[in-house]
A and B are shown apart, each in its own frame.
Chain A
């Protein structure tokens, strides 16, 4: 018998009992009416109680609803915060060790359905003098056009290679420092202002991904050194204006032939102009014409069991001056590459890392060859304690030559 029938049963019983007493005492008409009223109200109460007492089925419905709410988004707009921070200690050969704050990099996300997402990362740092610096690391509006394509517009991390766009956050980088040439002012471009198309598709069961961009491109620096003007650096850090009106185009194409292995090829080409002269006559700038600017990159990542291997090569080439500026008539080439391997046995919280980098710039004083070895304790997947030692080799007497001991705590949130 179902629980719902209980009131009817009860009614019969009550009716039975009351009719029994009816014969015994023969109550008056009024008494009967009163009793019926009482019964009616009791019945009503009972019905209500039964209704309130949720049945198993209605519980089911409610739980499923709760379940649904927890799983689907409560609204079309989502606001989300992520990011990372690191703190550490650096002891460089021939100077005293010091504590430092690497950076605090909050990331803000605003997402409207699966249509558009705003991504923004700030980079907040304390410099040597104790001043706080804030930079907009990236700010893009990502429009998910279809399943194979998203349009990314704004300031974005350079899609050339892997290190800048995917590996530099401190909780991801397996060593406390960036490989020489992959930091700021090196061989690898850092960021870009423009538009980018990114996406993925499969060809013959092989997964591939792509990024294509058009942007303002970098600016060049020259310096007066040893009695002549030389190209001193490429500022590829997302310039908000395009000094020469010439855009740079490029991208990366990656293939994943088998799970765990990814190969990528990157190129960029365009024009760049000298916009600053250090220790020299800046009137020379007026004669400068846009120079050729070409970047080439290749990267590899391979995970097998407890091992992970990575390697990356980037070359930035700036052409000769073709105008009359002659602030630095010769072109220049920056190249760098690294190979890194790490080992973390499955059940272990410990990870061993070794990396070799060879950075070659037009200035001997900046060239560096580096062996870095490190030991990491993975407290949680996003919280890592690192200790590492860099064996640096460079021009004697230059900073590039000094070995360093680094300690770091990195937390991604």
Chain B
């Protein structure tokens, strides 16, 4: 009696599952990979979630096509919503762009500089790795608040490294060109460097 009941319960649950599937609203099906994505939100989600189980993988570990499959694989493993998956993917794909790809964009469409403050740019494109105070959020990301650290370099050196990206040999994480945001101009990034100096209080001695 109990057995038949259990069996029926199992079968009913399978049927329920199947019917939920059938109801799955078609508008949610097969959304394009790039509809309504927000790479900045993706960056924040990436830094919060992608080191929960294993060491954080650098965006430079895979190419942008390989990231599609790995991020969908992780959608299932890590329990991400579809939107979170697309946002994280956008962040990673932007961050795998080469310096040349990142450079081309700026010439075509000088962005509305006045609209974005250096702080906003830092929060959207840099803080996922560098942390909200520049202290570094992830293994391999340098502590920019250190008075013996990276910000002791002159502005022009920092700017060149931010624009073209860098990875010191042996580092587990890469600095993506322009932090993965190809829209940023040199002028904006210059302002971000100034902002970083005021945030951390680190300036090279004259």
Contact = CB atoms under 8 A, between A and B. Distances in A.
B153 interface: no
Given A82-B73, A214-B14, A381 B172 contact: yes
Contact of B73 (A119, A199, A347): A119
Given A73-B65, A114-B82, A172-B54, A67 B143 contact: no
Report whether over half of chain B's contact residues are helix, strand or loop; otherwise say mixed.
Answer: helix
Given A166-B77, A209-B79, A67 B101 contact: yes
B111 interface: no
A351 B34 CA distance: 38
Interface in B127-148: 136, 138-143
Contacts of B14: 195, 214
Interface string A24-57: 0000000000000000000000000000000000
Interface size class of B (residues with CB under 8 A): 35 or more
A347 B57 CA distance: 15
A201 interface: yes
A381 B21 CA distance: 38
Contact of A146 (B29, B86, B139, B142): B29
Given A214-B13, A245-B7, A111 B69 contact: yes
Interface stretch (B45-53, B117-125, B192-200): B45-53
Given A166-B77, A382-B61, A146 B104 contact: no
Interface in A371-395: 378, 380-382, 384
B53 A259 contact: no
Contact of A210 (B31, B48, B79, B82): B79
A200 B6 contact: no
A73 B68 contact: yes
Interface of B: 3, 6-7, 9-10, 13-14, 17, 20-21, 24-25, 28-31, 33-34, 48-49, 51-58, 61, 64-66, 68-70, 72-73, 75-86, 93-94, 97, 101, 104-105, 107-108, 136, 138-143, 170, 172-173
Nearest to A66: B101
Contacts of A397: none
Given A109-B69, A148-B82, A346-B136, 17 more contacts: A64-B105, A72-B33, A111-B72, A142-B72, A143-B21, A145-B24, A147-B28, A150-B76, A162-B53, A171-B54, A201-B81, A210-B79, A247-B6, A254-B79, A270-B6, A347-B136, A349-B170
A249 interface: yes
11 contacts: A70-B97, A144-B82, A147-B82, A148-B82, A166-B77, A209-B80, A214-B10, A214-B17, A246-B10, A382-B55, A412-B54
Given A144-B82, A346-B139, A378 B104 contact: no
A206 interface: no
Q: Which of B24, B141, B143 has the most CB of A within 10 A?
A: B24
Contacts of A60: 104, 107-108
Contact of B64 (A71, A152, A384): A71
A64 B69 contact: no
B24 A149 contact: yes
A259 B30 contact: no
Contacts of B70: 80, 82
A271 interface: yes
Contact of A381 (B58, B72, B78, B142): B58
A63 interface: yes
A237 B136 CA distance: 42
Nearest to B78: A209
A198 interface: yes
A344 B139 contact: yes
B57 A73 contact: no
A67 B170 CA distance: 28
Interface string A132-162: 0000000000111111111110000000001
A74 B2 CA distance: 54
Most buried by A among B24, B82, B85: B82
Contacts of A115: 29-30
A165 B6 contact: no
Contacts of A249: 9-10, 13
A71 B102 CA distance: 12
A260 interface: yes
Contacts of A201: 81
A158 to B, nearest CB: 13
B175 to A, nearest CB: 14
Contacts of A200: 79-81, 84
Given A195-B14, A214-B14, A70 B82 contact: no
Nearest to A115: B30
A191 to B, nearest CB: 15
